[in-house]
Amino acid sequence: MENLIKELKEKGLTLGSVESLTGGLFAASVTSVPGASKVFKGALITYTAEEKIALANVKKETLDKFGVVSSEVALEMARGGREKLNVDICVSVTGNAGPTCEPGGKPVGEVHLGISMKGYEKSFQISLTGNRAHIQSMCVEEMKKLVSRSLKLASKSEI
């Protein structure tokens, strides 16, 4: 995480997150790095559908059509978080960390990530295995990788 914080500082960019199944673990990971306050502005924990709507501006229609565990919702979370937190880059995560799957719900380990920055937005699905804590931990790593990869795709002038 130190390298990511350093890169964001060098580029003069701010970061935020919108988290569901990780419950703030990404934010905790970022803020464990000394000097993170120079780049990390905050996080929204949107564990329920209601909070995704209220805090991250996810549309109820998107939730109804695709479900809370979907790439479409992850993208709206990132987009809404970027606006609400007033950051250059916002990363999001939603998924099922288990240990159970609701009837008709997404399987344990299905995770969707999203990122929003000026000139670039993306969301996608990954599948993780392991217990709840492991899945949450892997989500944090994937979020970090997503921000890092996205920074390489855009120069500061585009962001």
Predicted pLDDT of residue 158: 55
Predicted pLDDT of residue 103: 75
Q: Which residue has the higher pLDDT, 156 or 13?
A: 13
| Bridging pattern class, strands 110-117 and 120-127 | antiparallel
Q: Which domains does the chain have, with CATH numbers?
A: 2-158 (3.90.950.20)
Q: Which residue has the higher pLDDT, 22 or 152?
A: 22
pTM as predicted? 0.95
Coil, helix or strand at residue 108: coil
pLDDT digits (tens, 9 = 90+) for 58-110: 999 999 999 999 999 999 999 999 999 999 999 999 999 999 987 778 999 99
The DSSP bridge partners found for residue 45 are 19
- Is the four-CA dihedral 83, 84, 90, 94 of positive or negative sign? negative
Q: Residue 12 burial (CB < 10 Å; 0-12/13-18/19+)? A: exposed
| Torsion angle of the four alpha carbons 72, 11, 118, 139, in this order, in degrees rounded to the nearest 10 | 0
- Residue with the two structure tokens 């916002």: 90
Asked if residue 157 has pLDDT above 60, the reply is no
Predicted pLDDT of residue 86: 98
Q: How far is CA 36 from CA 23, 45, 157, in A?
A: 19, 19, 22
Asked if residue 155 has pLDDT above 70, the reply is no
With a pLDDT cut of 90, the percent of the chain lying above it is 91
Predicted pLDDT of residue 159: 52
Which of 23-32, 66-75, 135-144, 150-159 has the least mean pLDDT? 150-159
